[in-house]
Amino acid sequence: MIEFYQNLPDYVGPIAFSIGSFSMYWYSLMWLVAFGVVYFLLLWRIKKGEGVYDKNFIQDVVANSLIGALIGGRLGYVIFYDLPYYIAHPLQIVSPYDFVIGEWVGIYGMSYHGGVIGVALAIVWTARKKQKSILGVLDFIAPVAPIGYMFGRIGNFLNAELVGRVTTSPFGMYFNGGSTLRHPSQLYEAFLEGIVLFIVLWNLRNRGLPKGVMTALYLVGYALTRFIVEFFRQPDEHLGFIIGTWTMGQLLSLIMFAIGVSMLVSIYIKNKKN
C-alpha cells in the first residue's frame, strides 16, 4: 500500500482527457472547477439570505475575477519570479511559441500572489461599477475563496509541478520519474490553504464581524498557511532561497500578512473610537 501511495504521481498524468487533437489538462480543468464551486457557494449564500447581492452581480464578480486571476497570476510570475528573463524575452510573457528555440512550449508560470492582486482589482472595479461597498463584497467572498485553492493545488499535484523538498518521510512521493522521495507539498497546500482556511473562515462568516475583518483574516490566514508550507516546497530552481532559508513565496506572504494585520489594527482603532 505504501508503495502505491509513494508512486501515485506515476499513475496519473497531466491530461484529463483528449478529443482528437484537443487535450484538456487537469490544471486547467481544476481552475474551472475552482471558480465554479466558488460561484455556486456564493449563490448558496445569497439564497440563504447571507448577502444583499443578486445573481447577476455575482456572475460579474466571478467572471471578472477569473480574468483578473489569469492576468494577475501571469504578470505576478513575470515580475516576482523571473523579471530579468522576461525583460529579455517579452514576447514569452503572452506567447506560447518560443522564438529563440523555434518550438511551441506553452505559457508556463503563474503566481498566487499576483493572481490575488488581479482578483482584488477585478472585485474593486466591479463593486465600484455596481456602486457596492468594496469591503462588503470582499468580506462576502473571502470565506468562500479558499475552497477554490484546494482544487487549484490538486491541479498542481496532478500536473506533477511545484513539488516538495527531498524527504525520508513515508509521506513522501516520487515525482517525474525521480528516485528520491519528495514532500507532496501541493497536497499540503490543498489541505492548509484550502480546507483548513475554508473551515475557519466559513464558520466565522455570520458572526457579525466589523466590515473588513473577514478580508483581513483571509489575508492573515492564507499568509500563515502558505508560509508554513513553503518549508516543505522546493524553491524555484532559478531563484532558490532569497534570504537565508526563506523563499520568494514566504517573502510575499509576509507582505500579505502585514497588510492583513494592519487592516485588523486599523479596524480595531476605528471601532474603539466609535
More confident residue, 19 or 163: 163
More confident residue, 265 or 17: 265
Yes or no: say if 171 and 156 are a contact pair by the CB < 8 Å rule.
Answer: no
Question: Is pLDDT at 250 greater than 90 in this prediction?
Answer: yes
* DSSP assigned state of 93: G
* DSSP assigned state of 196: I
Residue boundaries of the structural domains of the chain? 2-23+134-273, 54-131
CA-CA distances (angstroms) from residue 24 to 39, 94, 200, 265, 271?
A: 21, 20, 33, 45, 50
d(CA 49, CA 36): 20
pLDDT of residue 187: 96
Reduced to 3 states (helix: H, G, I; strand: E, B; else coil), residue 174 is coil
Condensed to tens digits (0 to 9), the pLDDT of residues 167-194 reads 999 999 999 888 899 999 999 999 999 9
| pTM of structure | 0.90
CA-CA distances (angstroms) from residue 125 to 110, 142, 165?
A: 22, 17, 39
Yes or no: say if 164 and 180 are a contact pair by the CB < 8 Å rule.
Answer: no
Question: Is pLDDT at 160 greater than 90 in this prediction?
Answer: no
What dihedral angle (degrees, nearest 10) is formed by the CA atoms of 124, 125, 130, 135? 0
Condensed to tens digits (0 to 9), the pLDDT of residues 57-116 reads 999 999 999 999 999 999 999 998 888 888 987 888 887 666 666 665 556 778 889 999
Question: Is pLDDT at 140 greater than 90 in this prediction?
Answer: yes
Q: Which of 14-28, 70-84, 126-140, 208-222 has the lowest mean pLDDT?
A: 14-28
Condensed to tens digits (0 to 9), the pLDDT of residues 199-247 reads 999 999 999 999 999 999 999 999 999 999 999 999 887 777 788 888 9
Cell of 179: 528516485
Cell of 88: 529579455
